[in-house]
């Protein structure tokens, strides 16, 4: 079975069985959705979804697999000047785009890190340093999700928040093949068994699941 290139959170390039599917963002732009959020490609509304996260001014948030930063920019505005959002991605091109967006928005509370989150300590963040970690469209890429979840737990403060947004199994449409998407119940059990307590579900649109957990 072919695999996926490590890809950014949004507008990513996928390879399944050695065949290039292409940019999801490009495909999305050919699809008709009602009132899509700017920059979301019509798949989901990051502004609306982020409102469910429980973000407060002054928070430190790590955006794992940030991609071009659709969530990063929104979160940086929500935490304000007293907060910090650290965007972590393996693609330089995605981080370059994010830095350009942050500059155009006048945001100085975003830090970017190029890193592989599949290795221990990959984020480069200190242990127990973050109020929240966001995993958006990153877990489906990995059969072994444990290293990424473990890194999220490591950097979260005690009782810190883990927010997971991922492709919903059985919804069809664009995006990864269904066999690469995780059943919500299975994903929830995997995260709980990694040292988290399930808190709530959030509405992430028709193609995505959304869940919030607390570190225990």
> Could you state, in order of their start, the residue ranges of all structural domains in the chain?
44-215
Q: Note whether 149 and 133 are within 8 A (CB).
A: no
**How many CA atoms are closer than 13 Å to the CA of 4, on its beta-carbon side?**
22
Per mean pLDDT, which range of 27-36, 40-49, 59-68, 90-99 is the poorest?
27-36
pLDDT, one tens digit per residue, over 60-92 is 999 999 999 999 999 999 999 999 999 999 999
**pLDDT on residue 167:** 92
**Residue 3: partners with Cβ closer than 8 Å, 6 or more residues away:** 15, 16
pTM above 0.85, yes or no: no
**pLDDT on residue 44:** 80
Q: CATH second-level architecture of 44-215?
A: 3-Layer(aba) Sandwich (3.40)
Tell me what percent of the residues of the chain surpass a pLDDT of 90.
67
The CA distance from 21 to 7, in Å, is: 12
Indicate whether 40 pLDDT > 70: no
């Amino acid at each position: 079975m072919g695999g996926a290139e490590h890809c950014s959170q949004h507008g990513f390039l996928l390879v399944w069985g050695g065949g290039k599917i292409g940019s999801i963002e490009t495909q999305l732009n050919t699809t008709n959705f009602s009132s899509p959020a700017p920059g979301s490609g019509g798949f989901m509304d990051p502004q609306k979804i982020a409102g469910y996260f429980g973000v407060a001014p002054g928070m430190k948030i790590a955006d794992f697999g940030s991609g071009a930063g659709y969530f990063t920019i929104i979160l940086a505005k929500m935490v304000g000047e007293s907060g910090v959002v650290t965007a972590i991605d393996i693609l330089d091109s995605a981080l370059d785009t994010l830095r350009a967006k942050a500059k155009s928005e006048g945001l100085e509370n975003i830090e970017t890190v190029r890193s592989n989150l599949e290795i221990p300590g990959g984020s480069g963040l200190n242990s127990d340093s973050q109020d929240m970690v966001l995993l958006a469209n990153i877990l489906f890429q990995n059969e072994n999700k444990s290293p990424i979840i473990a890194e999220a737990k490591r950097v979260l403060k005690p009782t810190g928040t883990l927010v997971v947004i991922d492709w919903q199994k059985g919804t069809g449409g664009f995006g990864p093949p269904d066999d690469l998407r995780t059943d919500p119940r299975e994903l929830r059990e995997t995260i709980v068994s990694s040292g988290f307590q399930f808190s709530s579900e959030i509405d992430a649109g028709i193609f995505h699941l959304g869940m919030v957990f607390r570190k225990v």
